Amino acid sequence: MRPQNKNEIVIKPIGIIHTPYKTTKEIPCQGYRSKEIGEIEVFNEYGEGLTDIEGFSHIVVLYSFHKSEPYTLLVKPFLDDRLRGLFATRAPKRINPIGLSVVKLLERKGNILRITEVDMLDGTPLIDIKPYVPRFDEREDVRIGWLEDKLK
């Protein structure tokens, strides 16, 4: 990510995500609902950055919603019938179409990561990978807003 000026950010893909999902309609609404296997292909020039990744059971994957439709600031989420603010949802139609998923890392072979719990479209551009670390990522005293009565 290299700022060109204060109003522009340039993000360069570091790889491609391969999944069984060829259309957006096939993709489960959250990765934990999927047992499908996918692969993250990190471009060769960035492969060295995968050193030690195989020690983690889960990784956080940031990617581009490259087939996303234009956004609206009010959306109807899949778990509700009311319009909600875009930023109070995980809707894929974003101002900056960036996706985030936690996936289970099955194995690493060179610059290829085999993963499960995938919820990305085949051919999705990869932006970044970070290790999932429960102590860093879990929080106590969490409120989940309008989802409170939806996820019992």
**57 in any annotated domain:** yes
pTM of the full predicted structure?
A: 0.86
Distances (CA, A) of 140 to 21, 58, 114, 121: 34, 20, 31, 32
**124 in any annotated domain:** yes
CATH value at residue 114: 2.40.30.70
Q: Which of 9, 112, 5 is nearest to 53 (CA)?
A: 112
pLDDT value at position 35? Answer: 75
**46 in any annotated domain:** yes
Domain with 122 in it: 14-134
Residues 30, 22: Cα–Cα separation, whole Å: 16
How far is C-alpha 1 from the chain's CA centre? 17
Total of domains in the chain:
1
Q: Which of 20, 50, 19 is nearest to 125 (CA)?
A: 19
**73 in any annotated domain:** yes
Q: Is 39 helix (H, G, I), strand (E, B) or coil?
A: strand
Tens of pLDDT, residue by residue over 22-69, are: 877 766 666 556 677 999 999 999 999 999 999 999 999 999 988 888
**90 in any annotated domain:** yes
